[in-house]
Amino acid sequence: MSNMASRFEYRHDMVASARPGSRRAAGLAFAVILAGAVSAFAQDPPVGDAIDTTHPLYQQRPYDLITVKRDGSQHKILPLELPVRELPVQKSGTLKVRLEREPADEVVIRWADIQSVDLWEDMVLAEAVERTGASEHDEAFRHLVYLLDKYPRTKGLDAAVQNHLFATAESDAAASRFTMAFSGLEEVYRRNPNYVGGSGRTVTAALSSVVNEILKAYIESGQYAHARRLLKRLESQYGDERLASLADARRAMIDRASAKAAEVRKLLGENQLQEAQAVSREMLRIWPKLEGGFELARDAAQRYPIVTVGVAARAVRFDPSAIDDWAARRVGRLVGRELVEYVGPGPEGGRYATPFGSVQRDDGDQFLAFQVRPAEGPSGRPTAYDLAERLMDLANPASDQYAPGWADLARSIRADGAFRVEVDLRRPHVLAESLLRVPIAPTDRPPPWLTVLQPYVVKETKETETLFTVNAEFIRKRPTQPAELRERYYEDSSEAVEALIRGDLLVIDRLFPGDAARLLESPRPEIVVRPYAAPTLHWLIPNLKNPFLDNATFRRALVFSIPRQTILDRMLGGKRLPGCRLITGPFPAPRGDGDSVAYAYDTRLAERDFDPGVGLLLISMAKNQLAKAAEKKSEPPPELKPLVLAFPEDKSARFACAIIAEQLKMLNVPCELKPLPPGQTADPSGEYDLLYAAVTIVEPLVDAPRILPRGGMVGSTSPYINLATRRVEEATSWREVRERMLELHSLAYSEVTVIPLWQIVEHFAHSANVRGFDERTVNLYQDIERWQIEPMVTDEE
């Protein structure tokens, strides 16, 4: 009989608010009823009524029952109309009734001929009491619920409810159903704190015994937070003087935590720092208020800070400039650096910094000056000559590191001493330094001095976990930053969220959108959820080797044929996440006023809503166009073969591509899914037709040439796209940049250069005891040197 106490609880108010009328009022009412002639009922009583024992009383039509003295026969009568449904104390004269079998006729009976009158509610109550005594608790419960609903003023009902709850709780406790017993006993206590059962046992004694079992089970199973929360509530509600078991549970947890504290001290003394930190976390998980416990845990954490990060995508390469590979870009900040790094949005475009020191533009935007910060490590130190050599290598067409945009802009590069590099530009460029978002050094031939600029090194790699340790030669390391960073892969980010809540993780680098929305809607004090400064743009990149995908009409048909808004809504779990929306092209859409990342997005372009009818029509038009083109070449028309949709391993891509494939099949466009190997975001074999891409564009001015034209990620063959991209690169003012970026967006929209899906504002989550994150974080590890880990004090603390 689950949740019985709560089902009684709402009826208690009805019982408590009833105000029985006085017996004097009842007697006056009966003086009126008893007037009239006496029938011959007593002299010649009719045959008694059969009492239905096959159905519970609460399922029968209500009646009162008269028992006649002469022959003991029982007669069902319609319920007496009494002001308070109580019989008079003085029974004299006569009583008018209507027999249930002949309700139209009034019968007058002398009280002297009546042995007893049983009111309907009293009979139901008596049945409930009898069932309780027989341990038929479910049936007793149904009788009592009926009375609480229909006859809440029944005399003795509250006492019967208390007895029933107490008896049921004792039965539950005997069967080790302690949670159910606890619920029932709390309801008894609420109704009557001084309740004493038939055996002489008080409700507080019974509660203490049951609470002891519940708390002991929590402690033995390691559910210390549950135990503490329950303990705190019971201390406030009852106190130790009523529930003696509270002190026992408190002492048991303090003793366990004290034993862990002793173990931490021993491990610290033996310089087993990782083990000491793990045990200190367990100590605080047991009893956060342990005297001296927080200070001890902080000592362990600061001696060897360890952070475990949950990731949704594994990194198989380390490239901080890979805009289409979230994992490679994330880890690239740990073991590699960019020559110039985007550190967040500014008033116009982004803000940039360099690991070498600092970089500045002059007021005319035609000159760059790098200042190299003096530093020296065991492997040497970077100087202005090293930086200048790298800049010249990027401008050299014969180098495998050649960067055409930089080569076209840089006129001269010179080192001015050991710590300054000056660059003259051929023309003004509003963000010339942003062109240098490239690896700080060639990955295949790193110079010796590179190690002093790398915060971490890879210590160990497993299938689902990668261990990084702080680089001893890193010249800007801080004693409080994590000494060890462990990335743990989770196929389902919801499992990572549970691990974060449990304390098994301290950070999740990328939440599934629905998980982010859920955590933001129902915040937890121990978890902080933050948005990244730049959104991800989700597209389908067409393989132009397929004649259908090389056809703009067919690509446009795909846009109309995919229920993009439905997929996005499902990814968000039906909730809202600001900035998440459909997009019309390859650039970030505004997330609010003053969004300096969205300067390339043309808000005037109309969204192409899901319309499978239009999609089918455009597919038919594309087939006709391709057939006519083939006919001109005297070739057979191309056949629309099943489209191969390739996608990376993360949850968002898997989720979206499964729906896209099914939808296309419904439109007679066969589609096959091709999951890419772990850690890959591209298919170098080219054996696909559509590639699901999640791209992070932080500077459209610089990223557009890396993405759209021939030689870029998309590799558009359109002369208009290639020309417009070139015009963007040649812009010399922010006015020209905006105008030409909007023009490029419009062309990409018209030609459907990519199949735009949606924009996601990505979020990461971390334990509240990890500090040091920038308010406008772009890369999870961009401020890793500032991270600090404090011991986590959980729940009520």
DSSP 6-25: HHHHHHHHHHHH--PPPHHH
Q: Are 152 and 169 in contact (CB under 8 A)?
A: no
Question: Domains of the chain: which residue ranges?
Answer: 19-118, 337-446, 456-532+763-789, 536-760
In our burial notation (b when 16+ CB lie closer than 10 A, e otherwise), range 635-647 reads eeebebeebbbbb
Span 456-532+763-789: which CATH code? 3.40.190.10
Is 3.90.76.10 the CATH number for 337-446? yes
The per-residue pLDDT for 46 is: 66
Q: Which band of pLDDT confidence, cut at 50, 70 and 90, is reported for residue 32?
A: very low
Span 536-760: which CATH code? 3.10.105.10
- Give the mean model confidence (pLDDT) for residues 717-744: 96
Tokens of 641: 């073969």
Outline where 77-134 has alpha helix (H): 120-133
pLDDT(28) > 70: no
The per-residue pLDDT for 607 is: 94
pLDDT(14) > 90: no
- Range in 23-32, 137-146, 197-206 with the lowest mean pLDDT: 23-32
pLDDT tens figures, 228-263? 999 999 999 998 888 989 999 999 999 999 999 999
pLDDT(359) > 60: yes
CA-based nearest residue to 467, from 230, 645, 309: 309
Q: Are 253 and 228 in contact (CB under 8 A)?
A: yes
Q: Are 552 and 542 in contact (CB under 8 A)?
A: no
pLDDT(25) > 50: no
The per-residue pLDDT for 794 is: 57
More reliable by pLDDT, 493 or 414? 414
pLDDT tens figures, 78-105? 999 888 888 888 788 899 999 998 898 8
The per-residue pLDDT for 526 is: 85
**Backbone phi, psi, residue 166, to 5°:** -65, -45
Q: Which band of pLDDT confidence, cut at 50, 70 and 90, is reported for residue 44?
A: low
Outline where 382-492 has alpha helix (H): 384-394, 404-409
Q: What is the DSSP code (8-state) at residue 380?
A: B
- Give the mean model confidence (pLDDT) for residues 776-786: 93
Q: Which band of pLDDT confidence, cut at 50, 70 and 90, is reported for residue 211?
A: very high
The mean of the pLDDT values for the chain is 90
DSSP string computed for 204-267 = HHHHHHHHHHHHHHHHHTT-HHHHHHHHHHHHHHT-TTT-THHHHHHHHHHHHHHHHHHHHHHH
What percent of the chain clears pLDDT 90, i.e. is strictly above it? 76
More reliable by pLDDT, 672 or 37? 672
Q: Which residues pair with 702 in a beta bridge?
A: none
pLDDT(38) > 60: no
pLDDT(12) > 60: no
SS3 511: coil
pLDDT tens figures, 436-447? 999 998 877 888
pLDDT tens figures, 126-181? 999 999 999 999 999 999 999 999 999 999 999 999 999 999 999 999 999 999 99
